[in-house]
A and B are shown apart, each in its own frame.
Chain A
Amino acid sequence: MADAKVFSSNQILVSGALPNDVGAIRLVRTADADIPLAVTSVKQGEQPNSFLVTTAETLSRQDHYMLTAGGANQYWEISPSPLALLFSVIIGSALINNFVFTRYLGLCVFFGVSRNKDTAIGMGITFTIVGLLSGMIAWTLNTYALVPLKLEFMQIIAFIGIVACLVQATDLVLKKVNPLLHKKFGIYLVLITTNCIILAVPLLNATSGASFLEALGLSFGSGAGFAIALFLMSCAIEKVNMAPVPVIFRGLPIAFIIAGLFALSFLGFSGLKVA
């Protein structure tokens, strides 16, 4: 087995001997190994003993592929590098698919807490930490207990239980370690239980069958994305509070319009490709 990686959106760079015959090469996604991707050409690469395989389909750097040539004798597995994967998942969930602005999760806490910059920062940090912890615990429980025991139907109950326990535990620890901080964030800590993001992350991980790294990235990225959204929103709200807003728009309606504008600008991130 030799080295191979996704070179561009429709090319794979393979090092090693490869027959110069399109028909002898079979390229599949590891997830659906029965469906071959059409290979259009094989070219000698710039380096000696390397080949560029071009396909008709679009390849993703985050996906896993398998390339076989000359029967099953020669094969290359193409998987993303762990760091790149982690990075791309974090950027993806924090910016490109920001949980607040494109998936509309955690809106209630979002609108409730974004009135003041300090609170927003505190809530953002608290949430990122709790979200990361609960995401990882839920992933471990799901992968090593629920799935092997075929208890997937218990996912909702198990995950909400984890979140509730973790929030309670964080509450206790914070109260002991830093009472001042607890006084300030205790109320938000309780609110985290009903924040959809914290429940959505384990559910998304479980549905997509995420690997450990993907789960880690999503848990952290979602929290970071929420913190970013919260901070941006609180900055805007502090300004709007001093502006003469029409009576019927005061309070939540204007907050929604602002969130809409943010969502619109976050659309710009959808052009962001993580290499």
Chain B
Amino acid sequence: MSTYRPPPPISTMLMRGLFEENPVFRLALSLCPAVAVTTSLKNGLMLGVAVLIVQVLSSMSGSLVKHIINPKIRIPVFTIIIAIWVSAMDMILAAYYATVYQEVGLYVKLIVAFAIIISRMELFSMKHNVVPSFWDGLGMGLGFLAAMILAGSFRELLGSGSIFGIAVVPFKPLLLVVLPAGGFFTIGLIMAMFNWVDLKRGHKLPSTTSGCHG
């Protein structure tokens, strides 16, 4: 077990997930859903909220059980914890939001395989108590949600000319953006934008060979 370190202040934990370590654009984790369901803002929002809740609950449960699990089998245990919360989430969404669930259902189930959740449990919950784990999970979840909203509104606005299904743009929408290819372009451009903002602020770019797991 690693030595105990005091958790960073709440604001740092929240902002870290939103910007510096944004799960989608910075860490390049959990990319699949970020491209897949962001064809409309509504779908993106729903999956974002689902991930946020699962992340917070899993982080907290991971933190709660950290003393009783053998470190050697922590990965399977974490996976099962996540799978339990995802199953619960899946059933709730299927019951209450049947229409949206039809479109994003598969990706809700696949939250299990999201590297971001397990990596936060591994990197943070294992070393900290329940309350800091809550804030860390909240920050990461919000970062993911923000990424989904950003990509979702961009693609819905350009691709369908609407926001939340309400038409706002008078011109003919650019179909390419809602096609699979458009998702890749959108994420690529937003990532480049993050890099650009970083350069402008005088930060160094993260190494180009950033690791990507899951």
Contact surface of A with B, Cβ cutoff 8 Å: 101-109, 111-112, 115, 153-157, 160-161, 164, 191, 193-196, 199-200, 203-204, 207, 247-257, 259-261, 263-264, 266-267
Assign chain B's interface to a size class.
35 or more
Q: Which of B58-66, B108-116, B164-172 contacts A (4 or more CB under 8 A)?
A: B108-116
Q: Which residues from A are CB-within-8-Å of B214?
A: 108-109, 191, 194-196
- Chain A interface helix/strand/loop/mixed: helix
Contacts A104-B180, A194-B115 given; indicate if A112 touches B212 (C-beta within 8 A).
Answer: yes
Find B112's partner among A105, A106, A108, A156 (CB 8 Å cutoff). Answer: A156
Residues in B166-212 with C-beta less than 8 Å from chain A: 176, 179-185, 187-189, 191-193, 195-196, 199, 205, 207-212
Q: Which residues from B are CB-within-8-Å of A264?
A: 176, 179, 181
Q: Which residues from A are CB-within-8-Å of B184?
A: 256-257, 259-260, 263
B87 and chain A: residue at smallest CB distance: A156
Q: Which residues from B are CB-within-8-Å of A263?
A: 179-181, 183-184
Q: Which residues from A are CB-within-8-Å of B33?
A: 104
- Chain B interface helix/strand/loop/mixed: helix
Cβ of B79 under 8 Å from chain A: yes
Bound Cα distance A21, B211 (Å): 67
Residues in B21-35 with C-beta less than 8 Å from chain A: 28-33, 35
Contact B29 A157 (CB under 8 A): no
Contact A164 B79 (CB under 8 A): yes
CB distance from A100 to the nearest CB of B (A): 9
Find A200's partner among B28, B106, B211, B213 (CB 8 Å cutoff). Answer: B106
Contact B87 A260 (CB under 8 A): no
Q: Which residues from A are CB-within-8-Å of B205?
A: 247-248, 250
Return 13 A-B CB contacts under 8 Å, by A number.
A104-B35, A104-B36, A105-B110, A108-B29, A108-B214, A157-B87, A164-B76, A194-B118, A195-B113, A195-B214, A200-B106, A251-B209, A261-B181
Cβ of B83 under 8 Å from chain A: yes
Contact B110 A108 (CB under 8 A): no
Q: Which residues from B are CB-within-8-Å of A193?
A: 79, 113
A99 and chain B: residue at smallest CB distance: B32
Bound Cα distance A194, B110 (Å): 10
Contacts A196-B113, A256-B191, A267-B179 given; indicate if A108 touches B32 (C-beta within 8 A).
Answer: yes
Contacts A153-B91, A164-B76, A203-B109 given; indicate if A111 touches B28 (C-beta within 8 A).
Answer: yes
Contacts A156-B90, A251-B210 given; indicate if A102 touches B79 (C-beta within 8 A).
Answer: no
Find B31's partner among A111, A157, A200 (CB 8 Å cutoff). Answer: A111
Cβ of B131 under 8 Å from chain A: no
Contact surface of B with A, Cβ cutoff 8 Å: 28-33, 35-36, 76, 79-80, 83-84, 86-87, 90-91, 105-106, 109-110, 112-115, 118, 176, 179-185, 187-189, 191-193, 195-196, 199, 205, 207-214
Contact B181 A253 (CB under 8 A): no
Contacts A108-B115, A267-B179 given; indicate if A157 touches B188 (C-beta within 8 A).
Answer: no
Bound Cα distance A109, B110 (Å): 15
CB distance from A160 to the nearest CB of B (A): 5
Bound Cα distance A259, B212 (Å): 16
CB distance from B85 to the nearest CB of A (A): 10
Contact B181 A157 (CB under 8 A): no
Find A157's partner among B84, B113, B209 (CB 8 Å cutoff). Answer: B84
Q: Which residues from B are CB-within-8-Å of A156?
A: 83, 86-87, 90, 109, 112
CB distance from A190 to the nearest CB of B (A): 9
A115 and chain B: residue at smallest CB distance: B209
A157 and chain B: residue at smallest CB distance: B83
Find A256's partner among B90, B91, B187 (CB 8 Å cutoff). Answer: B187
Contacts A157-B84, A164-B76, A257-B185 given; indicate if A252 touches B191 (C-beta within 8 A).
Answer: yes
CB distance from B143 to the nearest CB of A (A): 16
